[in-house]
Structures are given as structure tokens and as C-alpha cells.
């Protein structure tokens, strides 16, 4: 009798294998990589990185076909896992930035560590978590995706086992990351407790308006946001970022500062647009403060840095503040514009920042130093590298015609669209900060173009082919997004399935 009852109740979930293909390719690829690593001789380990790159490109393929075939929303598991344009664009972003990180890594790992199989396995796992995050539409999936992308990242940050800085990086990242997860999980359970559902859309319906917004709901919202604020290293939850960025291997630093951060913002956007749309009186002031403080403090600290990786770390903290800006006005402003601004910022920032780190790697092969002062004379002995670095820095500073201006433009537009005093204030704070940020980007440019080489060594830099490829991809993308921003997928994001009252 019981079996009959169960059978009648249980409906086999519909699985759309085409929609899940990127995850499946990645999952199979991860297992393949582990096995492959077992049977490869030490001399042929380079194959691992090639295979890892191919797996990532293979996973992009279904993303492309899904994008081409239809714009209809594919929803699975009772709306808990959704493939729409938003998630497709971001999946492509994660997979491609993962590919660039693989390109950046392959030379790096060959020279530094024997654990190549494990390195790429963990990298792919982390990317898989991000790919999931783009589609996750309920608290459980969001949390699993978050752990999926974080746990391998803790390990990757501590990759250079004998380097105390790397150990410190891994340890700090792990402890603060786990703490953030705990805070977030507590917030999630509060949200579940008051709404009775883990689906973001349901939560969005239950958390309605200020009059019903009881204290527990407020706490839930704030805790969840705090959890992700750690992930995106918003001030004052940013303290791990510089140490971790400095200690981790450079490709991993690039990966953390771009992809991992983007995943945090994706989750934050999902929550803001799907779970809290009616609670704008709670999240908007909170995010407003976070954004303003993050931009300002990140910039001021970046000004003082002498080490390029730390400088880029603080710069990425401050850039994160710019991405928070549209979210801080998502309710009062135009939600669609805000969402687009976030996604486009993530895409352009990814191309630019990955490129900047690729240059850092290329230069450090010669100078063996991360000091900003060691970039002196770069324009004389490696004009190409100096030029592309200038491109990336100008893009980060938001100078047309390089991509960054369009990202900043979108953020400003979204904020001003709200037309409130708070929004105008935020826009002006951000505008002033743009100038402050220009000051430290320009310091590096000045070093490269106008100072002599510190040790007088002007022999040319030999840039390995994989780094050249990474530089070309990111450089072309940065320039193309600036000149023809239409390509950045801005137009494709017509909405987030389930958001905006649909």
C-alpha cells in the first residue's frame, strides 16, 4: 500500500539533457582528468592542461547551441534550475575565463609543481560550481554551487605548499570563507523558516513589503548578503583578499579575482532580483553603504600599495564596489538596467583583469619581482607588453575607447535611473573615486613608460605562447567591448526568468 502511495505521489523529474550539457561535459571531464592523470608519465603531464582547456571549450559548445536554438526559458526541477539568457551569458563567461586561466597556468604549473592533474581537476570543479550558480534558482542549489566553487579554490590558493605566504593565503581564505558560509547558511535557514520555501521566487513572493517584513526576515536578508559580501570582498569583509591574492599562484589569483568574484555577484543578483524584490527598503540602504565604502576604501588602500598584485587586489575590491552600485538601486531604479549593468560589468571586468594578471605573469618571468618599481623601462624593452598593460589599466580606469568605460557607464546609468538623492550621491562618490583609481593605475603606467629599468637590464622578455594567446584573447575582448559594446551581450540580457514580475 505504501509503495502504491509513493508511486502515485512521485513524478520522475524532467531532465533536459541539452540544457544540462555544460555541467555534464564538465562532470565527465573532471573524472576523465583524474583518471588520465593516473596513467600519464611524468614527462607527458603537459597533456593534462591541454585536455583541461579542451574540456572547457567543449562545455562552451552546448552553451552556444542553447543560445542559438531558442530564447525560451528552460526550467527544470520545479523551477529550481533554470537556463535562460542570463545564465547562458554567465556560463559562457565562467567557462571562457576558466579557459584563459588554463592558458595562463599551463606554463606556470609545469615549472612549479608536479600536481598538474589535481590542479586542473580542482580548477574545473570550481568552474563547475560557477556554471551551476548561474542556473541555480533556489537556496539549496545556490549553497551547493557556492561550496562547489569555494572548496577547490581554498585548496588552489594554498597550492605552493612549501611557501608560507601561500599557506597563509589558503588558511585565511578557508577560515573566512567557511565563516562567511556559516553566516550565510544561518541567514538562509531564517529565510526558509519565515517563508517555508527554498525557491527564490517563492521567497520573493513571501517577503513582501515593509509592513510584513518582520525582524527575522530582515536578519535573514542581511546575513545572506553579508555571506556573499565576503565572497565578493566588499569592504569591510574584504580583509582576506590582498593576502590571499598575494599568496596564491598568480593564475589562481586572476581566477579568484575574476571568476570567483563574478560568481558571488551572480548569486547576489539572483537574491536581489528574485528573492528580495519587495524588500528594497532593507537591502538597498545596506548595499548602498557597502558599495560606497567598498569603492572608497578599496581605492584609498590601493593608492598606497607597492606590490602590483596587492595593488590589483585592492583595485578589484574597489571595482567590486562599482558592481554593487547598480544592485543598491535595483528596486527604486530600473531593475532591467541594473541587471544588465551588473552582467556587463562582470564580463568586461573579467576580460580586463585576466589580461592584467597575464601581463604580470609575463613580466615576472623576467624581473622575478612583484614590486611596481620593477616595471620601470618596460616600454623600452617590451613595448608590446607595456602597450597591452596600458590598455588593461586604461580599461580598469574607465578611459574610452577601452571596455571599462562602458562597464562604468552602465553602472552610472543604472544608479542615475533611480532618480533619488541617495542615488545621485552615490553616483558622485563613484565619479570622484574614478579619479582616485586613475591615480594608481597611472602610477603603474608612469613606471612602465617614463622610468628607466631599475637594474638597467633591458633584455627583451620572452613570453610563452600560451600567455600570448591569453593576452590576445583578453586584449581583443577588452578593446572590442569598448569600441562596439553591443557585443558584450548587454542586449541579450532581456531579463532574469521569474524576475520583473514575469
Partner 1 sequence: MDILVFVCAAAMILCGALGVVTLRHPVHAALSLVLTLFGVAVLFVAQNAHFLAVAQVIVYAGAIVVLFLFVIMLLGVDRVEDLHAEPFKVQRPLAIVSGVALAGLLIAAVVASQHTNVAARGAGLPGVNPVRNDLHDGNIVALSKDLFSGHVLAFELTSVLLVIAVVATVLLARRSRGIDAAPTDGQAT
Partner 2 sequence: MDVLRDQNWLLSLGTFLPLAGVVIMLFIPKRDEESAKLVALVTAIATVAVGAYTLVKFDYGQSAKLQFFTSHDWIRPIRATYTLGLDGISLPLYFLSMVITLLVIIYSWDHIPSPGNAKAFLMLMLVLQTGMAGTFVAQDLILFFVFFEVVLLPMYFMIGVWGGEQRQYASLKFFLYTMFGSALMLVSFIALFIVTKGNTAEGGSFAFSWFQAHGPEIAKTTAIWIFAGMFVGFAVKVPMFPFHTWLPDAHTQAPTQGSVILAAILLKLGTYGFVRIAIPFLPQAAVKWAPAIAVLACIGIIYGALGCLAQTDMKRLIAFSSVAHMGFVMLGIATLTPLGVNAAVFGMVAHGLITGMLFFLAGSVKERYHTLEIRRLSGMLKQIPRLGWILGFCAMASLGLPGLAGFWGEFPAIISSWNPAQALVGDGKLDLFRVLTVVAALGTVLAAGYLLWLYQRTAFGEPNPEFTSHGSGAHSLSAAANHGDDHGSDLHDVNTYEWIAWTPLLIAIVVFGVYPQLMFKVIDPAVTNLMRVFGK
Pair 397, 404: CB distance under 8 Å: yes
The SS3 of residue 136 is: strand
d(CA 149, CA 145): 6
Contact string (CB under 8 A) for partner 1, positions 294-333, x = contact: -------------x-x------------------------
Whether the Cβ atoms of residue 143 and residue 130 lie closer than 8 Å to each other: no
Per CB under 8 A, the segment of 97-105, 196-204, 210-218, 426-434 that binds partner 2 is 426-434
Residue 162, preceding bond cis, omega within 30 degrees?
A: no
Q: Which stretch binds partner 2 (CB under 8 A): 10-18, 153-161, 336-344, 356-364?
A: 336-344
Please give the grid coordinates belonging to residue 458.
Answer: 633591458
Footprint (CB under 8 A) of partner 2, residues 385-424? 390, 394, 397-401, 405-406, 408-410, 412-413, 416-417, 419, 424
195 binds, among partner 2, partner 1, none (CB under 5 to 8 A by kind): partner 1
Q: Which of 53, 227, 321, 370 binds partner 1 (CB under 8 A)?
A: 370
On the 0-12 / 13-18 / 19+ scale of CB atoms within 10 A, 111 is exposed
Q: Which listed range, 119-127, 133-141, 309-317, 485-493, lies at the site for partner 2 (CB under 8 A)?
A: 485-493
Is 162 an interacting residue with respect to partner 1 (CB under 8 A)?
yes
Q: Among residue numbers 36 through 95, which ones bind partner 2 (CB under 8 A)?
A: none
Angstrom distances, CA of residue 195 to CA of 88, 215, 273, 282, 298 = 29, 13, 17, 16, 36
Q: What is the DSSP string of 310-337?
A: HHHHHHHHHHHHHHHHHHHTTTTS-HHH
* Among 85, 87, 106, 121, interactor with partner 1 by CB under 8 A: 121
Min CB(34)–partner 1 separation in Å = 7
Q: Is 132 in the site for partner 1 (CB under 8 A)?
A: yes
The CB-of-243 to partner 2 minimum distance in angstroms stands at 30
Interface with partner 2, residue 462, by CB under 8 A: no
Closest among 346, 387, 342 to 479, alpha carbons compared = 387
Out of 70, 215, 456, 501, which residue is the one contacting partner 1 (CB under 8 A)? 215
* Cell numbers representing residue 472 in the block: 590576445
| Chosen from partner 1, partner 2, none, partner binding at 260 (C-beta under 5 to 8 Å by type) | none
The residue within the footprint of partner 2, chosen from 193, 209, 236, 486 (CB under 8 A), is 486
243 binds, among partner 2, partner 1, none (CB under 5 to 8 A by kind): none
**Residue 280: how many CB atoms within 10 A of its CB?**
20
- Contact call for residue 23 and partner 1 (CB under 8 A): yes
Tell me which residues in 209-268 interact with partner 2 (CB under 8 A).
Answer: none
CA distance 348 to 474: 9
Q: How far is the CB of 155 from partner 1 (least distance, A)?
A: 4
Rounded Cα–Cα distance for residues 98 and 119 (Å):
13
Residues 412, 417, 421, 423: what is their CA dihedral angle, to the nearest 10 degrees? -40
Within 8 A by CB and 6+ apart from 55, the residues are: 25, 26, 29, 30, 32, 33, 124
Cβ neighbours, 10 Å, residue 178: 14
195 lies in the binding site for partner 1 (CB under 8 A): yes
Residues in the chain: 502
Q: Which residues lie near partner 2 (CB under 8 A)?
A: 334, 336-337, 340, 379, 383, 390, 394, 397-401, 405-406, 408-410, 412-413, 416-417, 419, 424, 427-428, 431-432, 434-435, 438-439, 442, 445-446, 449-450, 484-486, 490-491
Amino acid at each position: 500500500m505504501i509503495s502504491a502511495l509513493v508511486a502515485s505521489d512521485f513524478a520522475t523529474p524532467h531532465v533536459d539533457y541539452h540544457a544540462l550539457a555544460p555541467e555534464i561535459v564538465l562532470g565527465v571531464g573532471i573524472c576523465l582528468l583524474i583518471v588520465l592523470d593516473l596513467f600519464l608519465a611524468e614527462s607527458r603531464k603537459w597533456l593534462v592542461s591541454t585536455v583541461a582547456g579542451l574540456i572547457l571549450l567543449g562545455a562552451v559548445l552546448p552553451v552556444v547551441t542553447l543560445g542559438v536554438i531558442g530564447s525560451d526559458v528552460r526550467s527544470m526541477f520545479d523551477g529550481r534550475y533554470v537556463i535562460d539568457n542570463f545564465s547562458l551569458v554567465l556560463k559562457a563567461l565562467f567557462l571562457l575565463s576558466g579557459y584563459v586561466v588554463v592558458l595562463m597556468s599551463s606554463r606556470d604549473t609545469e615549472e612549479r609543481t608536479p600536481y598538474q592533474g589535481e590542479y586542473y581537476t580542482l580548477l574545473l570543479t570550481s568552474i563547475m560550481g560557477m556554471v551551476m550558480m548561474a542556473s541555480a534558482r533556489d537556496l539549496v542549489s545556490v549553497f551547493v554551487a557556492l561550496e562547489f566553487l569555494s572548496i577547490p579554490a581554498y585548496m588552489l590558493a594554498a597550492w605552493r605548499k612549501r611557501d608560507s605566504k601561500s599557506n597563509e593565503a589558503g588558511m585565511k581564505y578557508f577560515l573566512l570563507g567557511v565563516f562567511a558560509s556559516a553566516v550565510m547558511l544561518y541567514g538562509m535557514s531564517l529565510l526558509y523558516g519565515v517563508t517555508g520555501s527554498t525557491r527564490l521566487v517563492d521567497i520573493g513572493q513571501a517577503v513582501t513589503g515593509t509592513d510584513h517584513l518582520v525582524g527575522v526576515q530582515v536578519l535573514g536578508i542581511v546575513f545572506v548578503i553579508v555571506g556573499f559580501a565576503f565572497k565578493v570582498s566588499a569592504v569591510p569583509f574584504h580583509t582576506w583578499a590582498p593576502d590571499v591574492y598575494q599568496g596564491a599562484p598568480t593564475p589562481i589569483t586572476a581566477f579568484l579575482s575574476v571568476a570567483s568574484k563574478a560568481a558571488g555577484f551572480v548569486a547576489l543578483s539572483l537574491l536581489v532580483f528574485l528573492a528580495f524584490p519587495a524588500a528594497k527598503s532593507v537591502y538597498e540602504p545596506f548595499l548602498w553603504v557597502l558599495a560606497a565604502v567598498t569603492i572608497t576604501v578599496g581605492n584609498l588602500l590601493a593608492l598606497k600599495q607597492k606590490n602590483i598584485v596587492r595593488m590589483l587586489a585592492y583595485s578589484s575590491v574597489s571595482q567590486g564596489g562599482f558592481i554593487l552600485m547598480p544592485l543598491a538601486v535595483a528596486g527604486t531604479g530600473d531593475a532591467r538596467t541594473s541587471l544588465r549593468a551588473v552582467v556587463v560589468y562582470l564580463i568586461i571586468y573579467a576580460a580586463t583583469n585576466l589580461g592584467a594578471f597575464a601581463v604580470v605573469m609575463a613580466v615576472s618571468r623576467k624581473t622575478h619581482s612583484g614590486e611596481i618599481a620593477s616595471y620601470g623601462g618596460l616600454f623600452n624593452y617590451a613595448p608590446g607588453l607595456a602597450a597591452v598593460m596600458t590598455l588593461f589599466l586604461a580599461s580598469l580606469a574607465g578611459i574610452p575607447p577601452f571596455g571599462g568605460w562602458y562597464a562604468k557607464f552602465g553602472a552610472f546609468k543604472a544608479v542615475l535611473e533611480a532618480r533619488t538623492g541617495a542615488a545621485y550621491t552615490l553616483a558622485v562618490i563613484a565619479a570622484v573615486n574614478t579619479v582616485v583609481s586613475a591615480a594608481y593605475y597611472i602610477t603603474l603606467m608612469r613606471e612602465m613608460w617614463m622610468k628607466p629599468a631599475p637594474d638597467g637590464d633591458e633584455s627583451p622578455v620572452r613570453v610563452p605562447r600560451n600567455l600570448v594567446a591569453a593576452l590576445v584573447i583578453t586584449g581583443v575582448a577588452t578593446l572590442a567591448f569598448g569600441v562596439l559594446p553591443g557585443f558584450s551581450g548587454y542586449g541579450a540580457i532581456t531579463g532574469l526568468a521569474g524576475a520583473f514580475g514575469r
